[in-house]
Amino acid sequence: MSEPYRIRSPETWEAARLAYLEGCSADEVCVRFGLGLSALRKHARAEGWRRADQAEAEPFDDEDDADDLPDMDDPALADLARRRMGVAARRGRLTEALRWARLRDFALRQMRDQQRLAAGLASPNDAETPGPPPQPSETPRETARTILARARAEVHEVHKVHSNSPFEPSLNRTERRRRLKDMRKQTGPP
């Protein structure tokens, strides 16, 4: 059931107008002042609240303020991004939360790369890749073939370990679908 009709004071509408014209979104203004979105839009239309009619702000010169920014190392940046991501997610701002998550992932990746460089490893895959590394004289096509052959060999090894797997690397799509369908019949719906 919706909330009952309430009349807001002129002071509330004036504060909402100022907040809206200063750049807050209509949703933010409604939440802050307890207004309905349609009522806010109706007042804005009737009273001519248009951001386009506002005087433009002075250009911002950020060269002077560049030294005022705190110098954050990667762990502090990752922690800040994690906290901001949580706040944005709790407020239902998922796009903003995803942006903070990407920044956190970037900071963590930077920390990992710095640790690897300190340990003397050139890339994250050097210690994990089996077999000889591709020769520098290989063309990109030959390098790609080498990597693909290595990946196919790893998949084949996984299929050997999991002998009850319904998939085999040599099966075509139709055969895989048929085997999956048969497996579902045996086990029932998920």
pTM for the model: 0.33
Give the Cα separation of 61 and 35 in Å (integer). Answer: 36
Q: What are the tens digits of pLDDT across the range 74-108?
A: 888 888 888 988 888 888 888 888 888 888 888 88
Mean pLDDT of the chain: 76
Spatial CA neighbour of 101 closest among 123, 121, 86, 116: 86
- Whether the Cβ atoms of residue 155 and residue 169 lie closer than 8 Å to each other: yes
**Domain ranges (residues) in the chain:** 10-51, 73-119, 153-190
Residue 36 confidence (pLDDT) above 70: yes
- Whether the Cβ atoms of residue 169 and residue 159 lie closer than 8 Å to each other: yes
Q: What are the tens digits of pLDDT across the range 131-158?
A: 555 555 667 777 777 877 787 777 766 6
